[in-house]
Amino acid sequence: MLLELIENGMEAEKRKQLEFFDLAERFRRATDPEEVKRLGDQMGRMVFGI
């Protein structure tokens, strides 16, 4: 049971990293200032929990 909890936590962390990298790529490619701000705010919330 403990091993399963650890594995689930590792999988969740991996998904979170992939989500962040996807968001960072969309932020990097964005050209619309409103979208840049929205994506930047979303990244800030992911990183700092704001």
Per-residue pLDDT for the chain (50 aa), expressed as one digit of tens each? 899 999 999 999 999 999 999 999 999 999 999 999 999 999 999 999 87
Number of domains comprising the chain: 1
37 sits in which H/E element: helix 33-48
For 42, the domain range is 2-48
- pTM recorded for the entire structure: 0.77
Residue with tokens 């930047």: 40
